[in-house]
Structure formats: structure tokens, C-alpha cells
Structure 1
Amino acid sequence: MADLLDGLDPGQLATPSLSEGWTVHDVGAHLTTYLRFGQVKIYWGIVTMAADFDRLNRVLTARAARRSTAEIASRLRRWSTSRTTIPRSGYDPVLTDIVLHDYDVRVPLGIARDVPEDRLWVAFQHLAAKPSPGYGVGSRLAGLRLEAVDTGWTSGAGAPVRGDAESLVLAMSGRAVGLDALSGDGLPLLRARVATPPPRTTLERLRTVAQVVLDPPPPTRRSRNATTP
């Protein structure tokens, strides 16, 4: 990501990303926000913002985005060995976040990249099985069977939604750009949920966080050790 940002011109850096309200420059800034004292910031957001992670990310990213792109790229390189994880969630949500934000930058700029299948699998499985609260997936995938036709991955039960794994991961994460490459009886429902996410009350947000804290933590492994089915 640091190398990619360094190679972009001012117009590209100002291009709206797939993350609503953020430019390409902002996405780079966001990726620096949790590399130092990440868990402290997450707990601070839970206490001061009632687990409203969208608001927390907006606040932290706006602050980080004041820096130049060159400084952001330098920080990404300097802290690239960070071992910060989401509390009690392991490494999978961290890798998922990086995969998604890579798409956020490359897709609107038309810069192609084949994400290695094992990394895409981590993102697919994490979003489908038990996504961290910060992703805001909620009930978006309820009652749907997700079928990746190029890899054979499946998850869930109900009306089918089919397509290539990359487009599925984008749509599962709430990025509408992935929907046009999908098909199946469940697609209208998924499209409606992506377009109009159901509002989440403070109590619902806190309950989701409490569930993560109370559930047994995942095995202590790195995402790089994950194997695809």
C-alpha cells in the first residue's frame, strides 16, 4: 500500500474511494490509525462513543489524513511489523481489513491486482462466519447462501447469491460495486440491504461487542497460516 500511494498523482489521491466519504488519500491514512496503540483506541471508542466504530474511524482517519501522503506512506512502512489485533479476534479481521481497503483504492483507480486466493479466503470466511463488530455486517447476510463459483466456497443457508469470490467479498462487506457481477434469487435482498443498512441502536452495538468479549477467543494463529477448503 505504501508503494502504491507513493506512485499516485494528486488527482488519483483525491479520487473518491469505495469507502463512502473517503478519498484514496484518506484510505491510506486510515490504515495507519491502528498500527500503534490500536487496542487502546478501540477500547477508548467503545467507552466514549458507545461502540460506534464508524464514528471512531471517521475521527481517527480525519486526524491522520492531515498528514501528507508521503508521511502516511512512511508511517505504513515504519509500522508494517505491527502485531496489533482486534481484541479477542485474532489476525483474520486485520487481514480482511487490508484486503478490503486495497480494493477501496484500486477499483476506482482501475489498477488491477489478483489478490492471492488464501488471503481472499480469509476475508470471505471472516465476513461470512463471525465478522468483527467494526465491519457493521449485522444481519446483511442472514437467510442467504453465498456461492463463489470460481473457488467453490460456500457459506450460509437460504436464497442463493452467486458470483466470483472477489465480487462476493465486496458485496458482503457492503460495497455495492460488487453486486453487478452477482446473480441468484437472493441478490435483490442483498442489494436492498447494502443500499439501506438497518439502523443499529447503541444497545445493539454494545451487545455485539459484549458477545465478542464473552465468546471464547479464536486459536492464536496468524492469518497467513489459514488454508482454503
Structure 2
Amino acid sequence: MEILEMIADERRRLADLVDSLTEEQLQTRSLCAAWTAKEVVGHLVAVVAASNTAALKLLLTSGFSIHKANARLAAQTAERPAPELAALLREHATNPFRPPVVGHPGALTDLQIHSQDIRRPLGLPHQLRPERMRISLDFLVGGRAVGFTPKKRPAGLRFETTDLDWAHGAGPAVRGTGEAVMLALAGREAAFADLDGDGVAVLRRRA
């Protein structure tokens, strides 16, 4: 399966997740501390469905801060009914948008991490696909994961997954499932309890 097909499938699977959640679950705080589960979905919808005009207007009114504009766009998009958000994800599932710098590996990783931002606080199984996790793990330690993982975060550490045939680096070890390693590399505090090895404390400080 090509990476664009993986991205499309992840969008559709996220749409299925949204359809399965209650309003209370959608309003649960995600692992992205500033966002509820529904606002995380709003962000992922806005990436492919927001108009360039709306995004530019928000950028202008946010003092050209991409971070602020992104947060406001996510919140605005999340005001739509959940079934509409799910429908937009399906409608735009095959959108070939390639984010600058991070490319399609970044888009796939964004979907996988944010799906876990929603699922973990709700106690839902991750349902991540091994081949897709490997792509995201390679991306996160590859030095080009701008906005995901600063270059210094994985430096001098060895990462070993216990459920995938994947490892990277040399130095004090960080061991855990592919999901936990992926989330920890992305700075998600909730994942550290699922890791072990001499490098965990170092990675936690850097995150």
C-alpha cells in the first residue's frame, strides 16, 4: 500500500471513530492539552478541508503566528456537528496535499499521533498498523520532523520497539511498544509510563 493510500485509510478510520463517539467523549480533553477530542478532529479536518482564504484570514488576525492560527482554525472547524466532520474526512480522504518540509510521512504521522491523542484518554485500543508505525518512527527520528520532534530529542539514544521489527540509534535505550515510542518521541507525557530503559529519563527531560 502506497503512503497516500495509507493516509486516505487513516482519514476514513478516524471518521469511523468520530461516528462511534458520544458527545461526552468528543468533549474529553485529549493528550493535546489545549484541545478536546473534537478539536483534534477539527484540526485534522481543517488540514484538508479549510479554504485557503479562511486560513489566510486567521493567519493575518493571529499576528502571522502559524501556531495560533492553527489552534483557532481547529477550534472553529470543531464547531461543526460531529457527523459533518466525519463526512468531511471521508470526502477529502484522498486529498493528496503534501505538507511543506514534512511531506506525506508527516501527514501520516499527524493522523496516527492525533488518533492516539483521542483514543488514549478514552481508554480505546490504538488499532495502529505496524507498517504505518514504522514509517512514522523513521520520520520522527530522521531529523526532518519539524513541529513533531526537535532534532536533539532522539539524539544519542537507542530506541527499541517490543512489538515491531524496528530499532534506531545508539546509546542509552528506550524500549516499549511502537505506539508508546512514537508518542514519546512526539512529546506525549502519557506514553512515558509504558517505556523502560536507561534512556527514558533523558528522553522525558528533553520532551
Moved more, 68-77 or 100-109: 68-77
Moved more, 19-28 or 35-44: 35-44
Provide runs of 4+ in structure 1 moved above 4 Å.
37-53
Once the two structures are TM-superposed, the CA of residue 46 in structure 1 deviates from its matched residue by 8.9
Aligned to 1:119: 132
In the alignment, structure 1 residue 173 sits paired with structure 2 residue 186: yes
Aligned to 1:74: 87
> Which letter does structure 2 place at the counterpart of 1:134?
G
> Unaligned 5+ residue runs, structure 2?
1-13
Mapped partners of 2:153, 2:66: distance in 1:
17
> Which letter does structure 2 place at the counterpart of 1:19?
C
Question: Are 2:143 and 2:151, in contact at CA under 8 Å, matched by a contact in 1?
Answer: no
- 1:18-66 CA distance string (max 9 Å, x none): 1111111111111111104688999999999798543332122122122
Question: Are 2:105 and 2:139, in contact at CA under 8 Å, matched by a contact in 1?
Answer: yes
Aligned to 1:33: 46
Mapped partners of 2:199, 2:135: distance in 1:
23
Q: TM-score, normalised by structure 1?
A: 0.75
Percent sequence identity is: 34
Question: Are 2:176 and 2:195, in contact at CA under 8 Å, matched by a contact in 1?
Answer: yes
Aligned to 1:128: 141
> Which letter does structure 2 place at the counterpart of 1:59?
R
SS of the aligned residue for 2:103 comes to coil
In the alignment, structure 1 residue 83 sits paired with structure 2 residue 70: no
> Which letter does structure 2 place at the counterpart of 1:4?
L
**Aligned residues between the structures:** 194
Mapped partners of 1:92, 1:77: distance in 2:
20
2:172 is matched with which residue: 156, 159, 169? 159
> Unaligned 5+ residue runs, structure 1?
195-229
